[in-house]
Amino acid sequence: MNSHWYAIIMAGGAGTRFWPASRKRRPKQLLALGPDTSRPLLAATVARVKQLCPADRIIIATGEHLVDATQAVVPEIPQENLLAEPVPRNTAPCIAWATASILSRDPDAVIAVLSADHVVTSDDGFVQAVSQAMRVAETGTITTIGIVPTRPETGYGYIEAGADRSDGSKEALRFVEKPNLETAEKMLASGSYLWNSGFFFFRGRDMMAAVERHLPDLAGGIEKIARARANGDDREILKQVFPQLPSVSIDVGVMEKVSPLAVVPGDFGWSDVGSWQTVWELAQRDDNDNAAPEGSLLVDSRGNMVADLRNSGGKRLIALLGVENLVVVETDDALLVMPRERSQELRKLTDALSRLGQHDKL
């Protein structure tokens, strides 16, 4: 481990794509949606990242309303390493703020920006790719990891990779928005496109310089917050300044503009776990392709994604007879049934709840 290595784990989230399991106050990273059903995605992420830097150099950026729940899931992270955004302002303000706070501790910090709610099935592959990306970042080049695509996925953004660089990475030529299937198939066939993981690596000072150059308003706001923190208490100024920061993603606000940008190809069983469909794909399944809690009674049923995420009420038998490719999820206060292939349309339900004013279910 390099003593200047830090990680920022982005752990915000609206909690709509995994309703009814995910809620505003219990977004995806706090749920055990990965193949490891014994711990929340955030806990698995922190365990993985601890192979790269110790807990006291892991910063978790989350929302104010999520601080307690986050702390409960990763108690090993020091409380002062939890950055609580007063309001969500997309990724650029979050990363700039976290970077500034790390720089106040260590001006030579090299930082990995990672997501709290992704799945990685090969921890070794992850550590190897991140280490390589960090070493490229150490040389002063902002770097990303591009996932080697395994299918013409239309749910991810892509990065076009160019020439090999001398440090073993490649030039990142451009970001491509989520494509249609035809474009995705062409990109897959070309062999020169990678999935945008949303992971970024940089020296703290390089990121701040890039923010100053490309997002000067953001840099100014962060500067104010950092000064207040240096003077002892940034809480008041945070509440004033943070909501005024430009709401822009790091991809659009910075990454698409910096040059050179390096990309390290990664192949470590990555998924951003975008929907119940993905959870089903990642889950352990029986001979009939059902993912269901042990003890479920499944007769003439195939391809179902069943989850019991209740915390109370005791053991309950889930019995399916003659159904295929359904999602059946139950929590203490809600039950969802839908076809698995409609996982992406779950927003129709959360939007309806919102319209009906049922905010206690969101």
User: Residue 38 or residue 312: which is nearer to a copy of itself going by CB?
Assistant: 312
Q: Which of 233, 322, 357, 359 forms a contact with a copy of itself (CB under 8 A)?
A: 322
Stretch that binds a copy of itself, among 7-15, 174-182, 259-267, 332-340 (CB under 8 A): 332-340
Residues 6+ apart with CB under 8 A from 18: 28, 31, 33, 275, 276, 279, 346
**Binders in 259-298 for a copy of itself, by CB under 8 A:** 297
Residue in 13, 198, 204 with CA at minimum distance from that of residue 100: 204
Token reading at 102: 């790390």
CB 59 within 8 A of CB 28: no
Q: What is the DSSP letter of 177?
A: P
Which one of the spans 1-9, 78-86, 129-137, 331-339 is the region binding a copy of itself (CB under 8 A)?
331-339
Residue number with CB closer to a copy of itself (182 or 332): 332
How many Å apart are CA 265 and CA 145, to the nearest integer?
6
Q: Which residues contact 348 (CB under 8 A, 6 or more apart)?
A: none
The gap from C-alpha 65 to its chain's centroid, in whole angstroms, comes to 18
Distance of alpha carbon 39 from alpha carbon 73, whole angstroms: 9
Q: Which stretch binds a copy of itself (CB under 8 A): 183-191, 207-215, 280-288, 312-320?
A: 312-320
Contact 133, 112 (CB under 8 A): yes
**Length of the chain counted residue by residue:** 362
Instruction: Return the number of the residue (82 or 307) whose C-beta is nearest a copy of itself.
Output: 307
Binding to a copy of itself (CB under 8 A) within 188-217 occurs at none
Amino acid identity, position 113: V
357 part of the interface to a copy of itself, by CB under 8 A:
no
Q: What x-and-dash track marks residues 2-41 binding a copy of itself by CB under 8 A?
A: ------------------x---------------------
Minimal distance, residue 157 CB to a copy of itself, in Å: 26
Scanning 38-46, 200-208, 266-274, 310-318 for contacts with a copy of itself by CB under 8 A, the matching segment is 310-318
Among the listed residues 31, 36, 14, the one whose alpha carbon sits nearest the alpha carbon of residue 73? 31
Nearer to a copy of itself, 163 or 317 (CB): 317
Q: How far is the CB of 319 from a copy of itself (least distance, A)?
A: 5
List residues near a copy of itself by CB under 8 A: 20, 297, 299-300, 312-323, 326, 328, 330, 332-339, 342, 345-346, 348-349, 352-353, 356, 358, 361
